[in-house]
Chain A
């Protein structure tokens, strides 16, 4: 069973701080990794994807991938209350078959 593990949280950070969300995966052959944001009652929306080891930055978001450690993370700089949501890590196990983690709930307090 291919698994993706996330801490369910909630992760609480003050406004303006850096939020760090983590994810580990079991399938060493996985090539593509995704972070989705899901607001309560809404469907997931993609915020970042990463294929190669290292960091990928997009605005306030940075995705980090370490394939040797089978570890993906998402950093959110200058966190805002509007970032409060559940963040889902997803791993493409082949042919776009995504395996999702159960998500980490982030709370950003003003």
Chain B
């Protein structure tokens, strides 16, 4: 059973803080993804990674960076948090080549004050 975990369910930060969101998967998946979900806008891809130390920009990478030092861990970094980054952040992982599904973590609700 695939398990994707995220470091926090709820997080409150202040404007300008550096924020780290951690994601860990236990199924040896090659691919990992970070999305944010906002009402009326749906899920939008921020960054993804096909392998360790590899990263690709998604549709809305501005204001974010990522790190993947180990296969099982994919971190999303908000260099200087802003109020418009208040959102639900969802991590997902999948295997290659069987791209039948991306398994999602439980999400982190981030509030930036």
Residues of chain A at the chain B interface (Cβ within 8 Å): 32, 34, 42-46, 49, 88, 90, 92, 95-103
Q: How far is the CB of B111 from chain A (nearest CB, A)?
A: 15
- A43-B107, A97-B48 are known contacts; what are 10 more A-B pairs with Cβ within 8 Å? A34-B101, A42-B107, A45-B104, A49-B100, A95-B50, A96-B33, A96-B102, A98-B102, A100-B43, A101-B42
Cα A101 to Cα B42 with chains together (Å)? 6
Cross-chain contact B94 with A96 (CB below 8 angstroms): yes
Indicate if B61 sits at the interface (CB-CB under 8 A).
Answer: no
Cross-chain contact A102 with B42 (CB below 8 angstroms): yes
- Show 29 residue pairs from A and B whose CB-CB distance is below 8 angstroms, ordered by the A residue: A42-B106, A42-B107, A43-B90, A43-B104, A43-B106, A44-B43, A44-B90, A45-B104, A46-B100, A46-B101, A46-B103, A49-B101, A90-B43, A95-B50, A96-B31, A96-B33, A96-B99, A96-B102, A97-B45, A97-B48, A98-B102, A99-B45, A100-B42, A100-B43, A100-B44, A102-B40, A102-B41, A102-B42, A103-B42
Cα A98 to Cα B90 with chains together (Å)? 13
Cα A101 to Cα B105 with chains together (Å)? 19
Residue ID in chain A nearest B35 by CB atoms? A100
Contacts of B100 in A (CB 8 A): 46, 49
Contacts of A98 in B (CB 8 A): 33, 43, 45, 102
Chain B: how many interface residues by the 8 Å CB criterion?
Answer: 23
Q: Label chain A's interface by main secondary structure.
A: strand
Give B41-83 as 1s and 0s: 1 = Cβ < 8 Å from A's Cβ atoms: 1111100101000000011000000000000000000000000
Cα A10 to Cα B33 with chains together (Å)? 29
Q: How far is the CB of A68 from chain B (nearest CB, A)?
A: 23
Cross-chain contact A46 with B102 (CB below 8 angstroms): yes
Cross-chain contact B104 with A44 (CB below 8 angstroms): yes
Q: How far is the CB of A22 from chain B (nearest CB, A)?
A: 16
Contacts of A99 in B (CB 8 A): 45, 59
